[in-house]
Amino acid sequence: MFSRLLHLGRASRGVRGLDASHELSRLTPGDSIVQDWLFEANWTLYIFLVVAALVLAALWLRDRKIGWLIAGSSVLLLLVVHLMMDWLVETRSEQIARKLNEMAAAVRKRDPEAIFRHIARKFQIAGQDRAAFRHNVEQALRNGMVTDLKLWAYDFSEPGGRVRFFAKPSGNTPGTEQYWLIRAEFVQEEPGQWRLAGFEVFNPFVNTDQPLTIPQWGR
């Protein structure tokens, strides 16, 4: 993802003068798999449960009816259970986001081992396998072509291990002021472990459904 983005920065300056918020507004979370819905933080649900508990507590204080107390206790129990599930269980999207952040941090530390801890054994990109991609990444880190990588606006609305986000690499190469729309796919190589299997780079402003061709790498 790293040197490939910088190669693209030299080959194409992209479209200027457009507001980046145009594409950001399109990356809104959608329906995800049931497991994520159950275990991830849902602030709308939290607020609803807290308000419901307060209303039931007020009704109990007014009437002193046991039914209000039982209902309020049940709502509080549901809130506690949901908070515990969110805290104890790392969902698919939480794990993928964490690993992307760890890979970006490893770029800043010039630590390819930490990056490839999260790369799938069957990784493929533009006809290159994991070993060839690692060679390019190590070279880019060693010569300073990439010194930083910022990732943001993760969108997990597509099923499985697919994720969309924006990426902005920085380094000693001209054209690194640009950022790109990335569509990546993670796969489970082991139960509960998601790793990056490949990604494509897109213009973040126009033709966002057409993968960009990158010199030296092909598409």
Write out pLDDT tens, residues 121-172: 999 998 889 999 999 999 999 998 899 999 999 999 998 899 999 999 988 8
Above 90 in pLDDT, residue 32?
A: no
Task: State what percent of residues in the chain have pLDDT above 70.
Answer: 75
Instruction: Name the pTM for this structure.
Output: 0.67
Assigned fold of 2-26+91-202? Nuclear Transport Factor 2; Chain: A, (3.10.450)
Across the range 114-121, mean pLDDT stands at 97
CA proximity to 38, closest of 86, 108, 88: 86
Domain boundaries, the chain: 2-26+91-202, 41-88
Residues 6 or more apart whose CB falls under 8 angstroms from that of 49 comprise 75, 76, 78, 79, 82
